[in-house]
């Protein structure tokens, strides 16, 4: 147990649906991240939030919309996804953003787009 | 830009034999380096990290890694493999002073352990 909790663990959605992924940490960390893990590909950093401000957006399509209402919670809102968006979505947090601090990962949400 | 290359996509060993997972990095600054492990259907767990202190870093479950600046390597080793070590292993780099940069992952090495 890393202290980072993601819900739901599994999600199946149609291409016209709207859903949200939730991430929660009570470690007192100031930075939170969304990563995408697809089969046969390295982990892709999607979004970085530091002190609730978005500091990085790695050219992620607008059908993915992050939200960080406070330092303990991070959401990823999904709408009109494509089948190629099926992947494991991992949330992570760290005490600060970047530098030499490790990140603590949740167990991920396995997303299937049909 | 910083990057990591994991030289083997798949490593197979027998239980009780040594493990070597290779990683080379590219960095403009003095890097911080990490190894993470991911068991099936689980999130990532930190094995160990190097942050410019001792070059030989000991981690959990008997793993260790040595930072070699001259070779730009950070290979992961374990003297004796256990069946429970079968998993995906990721070498990761993070640099100071890179505003907006988080952890950058290698492609991963799948470790198989046979009895």
What does the pLDDT look like over B56-72, one tens digit per residue? 999 999 999 999 999 99
Contact assignment for A56 to B44 by CB distance below 8 Å: no
Q: Could you give the CA distance from residue B13 to residue B15 in angstroms, rounded to a whole number?
A: 7
Sheet-wide strand order for A18-25: A4-7, A18-25, A73-79, A64-70
Note which residues in 21-80 of chain B have CB less than 8 A from chain A.
32, 34, 36, 41-46, 49, 51-52
If you measure CA to CA, which chain A residue comes closest to B53?
A: A100
* Half-sphere exposure for A56 (CA within 13 Å, toward CB): 20
SS3 B51: coil
In the three-class reduction of DSSP (H, G, I as helix; E, B as strand; rest coil), residue B111 is classed as strand
pLDDT at B32: 87
Question: Are A98 and B43 a contacting pair at CB < 8 A?
Answer: no
- Segments in chain B below pLDDT 70: 1, 95-102
Q: What was the pLDDT predicted at A59? A: 83
Residue B99, pLDDT score = 44
Report how far apart, in Å, the C-alpha atoms of A53 and of each of A63, A74, A98, B102 are: 20, 11, 14, 14
Q: Quote the CA–CA distance of B81 and B76 in Å, as a whole number.
A: 12
State the pLDDT at residue B52.
76
Q: Which residues of chain A have pLDDT under 50?
A: none
Neighbour tally for A10: CB within 10 Å: 10
Chain A environment of B94 (Cβ under 8 Å): 98-101
């Amino acid at each position: 147990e890393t202290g980072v909790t993601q819900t739901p663990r599994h999600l199946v959605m149609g291409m016209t649906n709207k859903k949200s992924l939730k991430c929660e940490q009570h470690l007192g960390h100031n930075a939170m991240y969304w990563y995408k893990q697809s089969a046969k590909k390295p982990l892709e950093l999607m979004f970085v939030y530091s002190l609730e401000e978005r500091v990085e957006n790695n050219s992620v399509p607008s059908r993915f919309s992050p939200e960080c209402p406070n330092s303990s919670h991070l959401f990823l809102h999904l709408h009109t996804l494509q089948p190629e968006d099926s992947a494991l979505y991992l949330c992570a947090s760290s005490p600060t953003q970047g530098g030499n601090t490790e990140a603590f990962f949740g167990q991920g949400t396995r997303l299937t787009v049909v | 830009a910083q990057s990591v290359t994991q030289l083997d996509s798949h490593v197979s060993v027998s239980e009780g034999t040594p493990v070597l997972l290779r990683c080379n990095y590219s960095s403009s600054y003095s890097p911080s380096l990490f190894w993470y492990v991911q068991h099936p259907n689980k999130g990532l767990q930190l094995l160990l990290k190097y942050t410019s202190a001792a070059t030989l870093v000991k981690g959990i479950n008997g793993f260790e890694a040595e930072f070699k600046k001259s070779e730009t390597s950070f290979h992961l080793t374990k003297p004796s493999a256990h069946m429970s070590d079968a998993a995906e292993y990721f070498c990761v780099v993070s640099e100071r002073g890179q505003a907006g940069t988080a952890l950058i992952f290698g492609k991963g090495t799948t470790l198989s352990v046979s009895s």
